[in-house]
Structure 1
Amino acid sequence: MLLQLDDVVLRFAGNTVLENIRFGVEENSVASLIGPNGAGKTSLFNCITGFYRPQQGSITFGGEELLKRKPHAVTRLGIARTFQNVRLFREMSVLDNVMAGQHCRSRAGAFSAILGLPSQRAEERRVREICEECLEFVGIADEADRIATNLAYGHQRLVEIARALATQPRLLLLDEPAAGLNSSEKTELVRLIRRIRDERGVAVLLIEHDMGLVMEVSEHISVLDHGRIIAEGNAETIQNDPAVIEAYLGQDEDELELT
């Protein structure tokens, strides 16, 4: 198991946000974490990536314990993420935004940069090549020199994914990647997620409210409700699970789409 959570408990001011969470993500797989609004999905992502520190439990990645690691150390270990709301550097180009993702892999220090040493120039060329390839991979290489926030919303999402891929992860966490996308963009997103797994060997874990997309792309689905995992399995199992159907009662029909 690439990522494994065991008995993770997270509390804020006496309120239990996550209760005895147990689940994992396999190497080279696409998994989804779904559940009603407020179920604790993003909080779980924040625990994995070091933004929150659970009071109890264990989170291991490739056999390494994550709970005492800071976010940058988790990224360096091989976990990258995107966010619900697009987070780009507003005045920077698309390429510069993606190059920021390579910072965790950089070796040249400030001294080398100030002096413009050959090692620093060589590393800058290497970083640029990696990031240009990431932009090519997600399909927006021709927009590398544009200011990132001037792009259409769907392409801003792709910049975030490219930046995450530039960290050279083994596991990519996508937090509602289909939010705000039209139907054709969602179709392309499904293809991209599969390519990330198949061509780059990167496992993907996504939080997503579009159940059609989840059922199409996921090999394994975990359902979170009120901070607890209530069901796990493939798309067919989840679609027919009474506990999942009950958890989603009261959701808008367009949001539910379990069948």
Structure 2
Amino acid sequence: MSLLDLKGVSLSFAGSKVLQDVDFNVPAGAVVSLIGPNGAGKTSLFNCITGFYKPQSGSIKVDGVETMRMKPHQVTRLGIARTFQNVRLFREMSVLENVMSGMHCRTRAGVVDAILRLPAQRREEAAIRDFSIECLRFVGIEDGWHRDAGTLPYGWQRRVEIARALATQPKLLLLDEPAAGLTAGEKQELIALIGRIRDERGVAVLLIEHDTGLVMRISERISVLDHGVMIAEGTVKEIQTNPRVIEAYLGVEEGEAELAG
């Protein structure tokens, strides 16, 4: 069964077609990669899924629920979380506060509860803090929770962003170029972390990534966008040998080498 299902999604800006009749799905519990040349429309597709962009036509369903007219926070409540190409942390807030902010969509206490510090509000705040710490430990950050997020090394900031996304308790995690700027060692740790997110948390993962070696190692299925059109979908082997995909990646010989990782 598909956790995420897109049918005929089309998006244009000022008459320029960004996505054209895109059909796409992510099964529950799967790791799926979305690849393609720069400007192919990958991040725009993420923005449509998360409610930041509103396609002119098509259908987007999460667990069978239509989300095309939902606001981003409503899509998050349904179980969609994401990270961004450029790390977007609250740099002046602590690491822990950043992750706790991800649980806002799951809170129940109201303004009055917070002002009066009622028992229900205090219990909820404690639960949020404990779960946020657990998310940080899950991504491999055991301490430094009270440091300002902007003071962390870049690789750690990436992990904090993933922890914050996990704090929303998602069914599907969207990772937008999570390996960008990471060292070779950090990329190996990222591969392991993505596997644990799927295996231990039961969360499906959809990632955009230009590191094709990483994509080929982690993906169960790969979809390829080119100029807003979905040109191929399949297993790693099927994508590596697909002529249209190879052509989209810089030409036949260079493309074959790149897709081989």
Category of TM-score, reference length = shorter chain? over 0.9
Matched residue type, 1:70: K
Q: Is the 8 A contact 2:246 2:256 kept in 1?
A: no
- Residue equivalent to 1:76: 77
Q: Is the 8 A contact 1:210 1:255 kept in 2?
A: no
Q: Is the 8 A contact 1:220 1:232 kept in 2?
A: yes
- Residue equivalent to 1:31: 32
Q: What is the distance in 1 between the residues matched to 2:91 and 2:121?
A: 26
Residues 1:67 and 1:211: Cα distance change in structure 2 (over 3 Å): same
TM-score, scaled relative to structure 1: 0.98
Residues 1:132 and 1:163: Cα distance change in structure 2 (over 3 Å): same
Q: What is the distance in 2 between the residues matched to 1:184 and 1:254?
A: 25
Q: What is the distance in 2 between the residues matched to 1:64 and 1:256?
A: 41
The residue correspondences of 1:33-182 to structure 2 (distance < 5 A) are 33-182=34-183
Q: What is the distance in 2 between the residues matched to 1:95 and 1:150?
A: 13
1:53-96 per-residue CA deviation (whole Å, 9 max, x = no partner) reads 00000000000001000000000110000000000101111000
Post-superposition offset of 1:256: 6.6
- Alignment partner of 2:18: what SS? strand
1:202-246 per-residue CA deviation (whole Å, 9 max, x = no partner) reads 000000000000000000000000000001101111000000000
1:33-67 per-residue CA deviation (whole Å, 9 max, x = no partner) reads 00000000000000000000000000000000010
Matched residue type, 1:196: I
Q: What is the distance in 1 between the residues matched to 2:41 and 2:47?
A: 10
- Residue equivalent to 1:208: 209
Post-superposition offset of 1:257: 2.0
Q: What is the distance in 2 between the residues matched to 1:161 and 1:141?
A: 15
Q: What is the distance in 1 between the residues matched to 2:145 and 2:54?
A: 36
Q: What is the distance in 2 between the residues matched to 1:110 and 1:75?
A: 21
Post-superposition offset of 1:141: 2.5
Q: Which runs of 4+ in 1 moved over 6 A?
A: none
State the Cα RMSD in Å. 1.5
- Residue equivalent to 1:248: 249
Q: Is the 8 A contact 2:249 2:255 kept in 1?
A: no
| Amino-acid identity (%) | 68
Unaligned runs of 5+ in 2: none
Matched residue type, 2:40: A
Matched residue type, 1:237: E
Unaligned runs of 5+ in 1: none
TM-score, scaled relative to structure 2: 0.97
